[in-house]
Each structure stands twice: as structure tokens, then as C-alpha cells.
Amino acid sequence: MTIDQDELRIRVRDFLAAHDPTSTARLDYLRARYDAGLAWISFPEGHGGLGLTRDWQAEVDEAFAAAGAPGNDPEHRNGIGLGMAAPTILAFGTPEQKERFLRPLWTGEDIWCQLFSEPGAGSDLANVSTRAVRDGDDWVVNGQKVWTSVAHLARFAILVARTDPAVPKHQGLSYFVVDMTAPGVDVRPLRQITGEAEFNEVFLTDVRIPDANRLGDVGQGWIVAMTTLGNERVAIGGLFVGREAGMIGLAARAWREHPELRTPELHDRLLRLWVTSEAARLAGQRLRQKLAAGRPGPEGAALKLVFADLNQQLSGLELELLGADGLRYEDWTMVRPDGVDFGGRDAGYRYLRAKGNSIEGGTSEILRGIIAERILGLPAEPRVDKDVPWKDLEK
């Protein structure tokens, strides 16, 4: 049965009438919402959705928020799970994998992280050297991953590993779901310029992964990973939600609260950045409406590129608008944060944290290459290692 927007509104209203968020336990409430198909409404029935267009998701979320319903991403812990793992599982997972992973992922019972980058494979992700060797019904994995956000909190991880070193690098990869509590998984903190350790390095030593936890076919890991990364860029770049939300709202607030520091030059910069932020917000809204579930296009690279540049410019402008107060930094003690927060604690934190925006989710240089080749149709960069077996490449 096809559901129109009016029927969807009725379903939301009836659910809210039957489930009082003030008297229902948080987890029970989220599970019930998922089972009613009012979690990801664009996902299939039985997997938290109703098979509808994404256009109406914001309206559904707003209705639940207005009713005081609990959120499903506590302390911004599960952005990787919700924005990257879930659409990848939807696109490539078996029915059993979808049944097993999606519900506790959406409710926040299971936190997810991403094991992609390595010391020798960051921007060149296809060069990963972490090995996965088949052993009966399992794969035995050895290697090192780096820059892994919230690995210290995660229950599961999405992993790209090399399963065939005798073929060109893009062809010899496979994609797995890793139990982060399995023997051989060692998570170590990486202290950042902010003083905290949101990132981690992860060492995998003889970690056994059941073949049932493989997403996609053996050797299809690059294709699966591109779906994940495309969704990551949309998830990061799509943080422009609501007018004057995010970093532009903080800069505008500083402008209003410190009239004594205003200058024509700062006013001009603020207006230019406000216009750019608004254009990015509307572009992100349009992109999300166009996305088919789990299959983002290269437009997400442009959105994420703009996000990184804007955040860095706006965090710098906010410091200038705060004058001497902008030099303060609340706390530089070593902490293991409960999640990822681009907004941060204060202006000093935001300025330092924004430096990572042009690296995480694909460096700005890589994103410019994607835009040039896949959107503008410019000639591709020469790739001399494209047809060379990975084992024969210079390491």
C-alpha cells in the first residue's frame, strides 16, 4: 500500500498519542518507533521505515522532537553508524545482516566506528595493507588502522581489508563488520590539538571475523567502501540544518553580543559567510531529497568541501569577533569524549577542532579531484599503479 504525506502524518500523530515519551523508557520508545517504520522512513518496511521518500523525514523528526521524544544519537556518539554504516548495510547487507544490525544501530544500543585509514593509506585508501586471510568460515585479520573516531566507545566497526594482494589494489579488497570486543582488537588514544582524544589508532592482531560478517562479495570492498564514503561526505557536509544553525549561528551571536568590536571589514566577512552558509544549507537540503537510499553521488564531495572551508573561516571569524575573550581556552586536559561534537565547548575549541574538517571524510584535495573528474568532467589524473598487482607496488 502506498502511503501519502497525509497518511504519514496520521501515523506519526497516532504513534505519539499511544506512546507518551514522559512515561516510556527511552530504549523502549526508540524500539517502538523503529518497529512502527517511523525511524528511517525511506528504509524498507521491517527495517525501520516505510519505503517512502526522504523528503518527509525532517517533518517526522520535528514532530517527535516537538513532542519531547528521546533522540537516538546520545552525545553525538553514533554519527558513523547512522550516517555511514546503516546505508551501507542497507545497500549491500544480506537479509540476516539487516535484521541483526540495523535496529540496535538506530536505537543507539550499538555504537559504530570506521576502520578505513592506515598510516600508509589515508587519501589513497585503496592502498590499505591490513590483511584478511580466509580460514574456514572465518577471516583472520592483522593490521593497523588510524584516525578512528569513537573507537573507544564502539561495539562494531566497518572494516576494509586486503584479501587478495596479487591483483591491482582496487580489486583486492573486501569489506567486513568487526566486533570491537573480539580478542585481538586493541584501541589506543590519539591526542589531538584540542587536548582530547576523540580519535584512536586500532591494532588488529589475529582477529577472527565470521564470513557471515562480510558485506558484499569477496573483492568488492572498494565498491562497498565508496558507498560508505559517499554517505560520510553527505553526513558531514549535510550538517547545515536550519537557518543560522551551526558555526554561522555562533559567529552571528558573537557579532550581536559584541558591538564594540564591530568593524566594516568584519561585517562584510560575516555577511559573505552567512550567504555562503545559507546557499550550502539549501544545497544540502536539495541533495538529501535527491538521494536514493544508500547510493549517494559525487555531489556529496562538494557539500563536504564547502562545510570544511566554511567551518574554518567561521571559527576564525568568531575568535576575532570575541576580541580578547577569543584567546581563552576552557580546558586542555586529556579527555576521552563521549562523542563527536563539531560545535565544541567554546570558541577556542571550535577554532582548533575545525582544522580537522578538511581532513576527515576525505581531504579537501581529494574532494577537489572528485569534483573535477565526476562533476565537471575534466580529465582524470594519471594513475600509473592502476593495473599493477598490489604486491608489486613500491611500499
The residues annotated as belonging to the active site are 232
Which phi and psi (to 5°) does residue 21 adopt? Answer: -65, -20
Q: How far apart are CA 311 and CA 356, in angstroms?
A: 10
DSSP 183-223: TTEEEEEE--TTSS--EEEEEEEEEEEEGGGEESSTT-HHH
The Cα-based distances of 152 to 93, 192, 353 in angstroms read 25, 15, 19
d(CA 78, CA 286): 24
Cα separation, 237 vs 240, whole angstroms:
7
Dmax (CA) for the chain in angstroms is 71
Query: Are the CB atoms for 302 and 371 separated by under 8 Å?
Result: yes
DSSP conformation letters of 17-69: HH--TTTS-HHHHHHHHHHTT-SSTTSPTTTT--S--GGGHHHHHHHHHHTTP
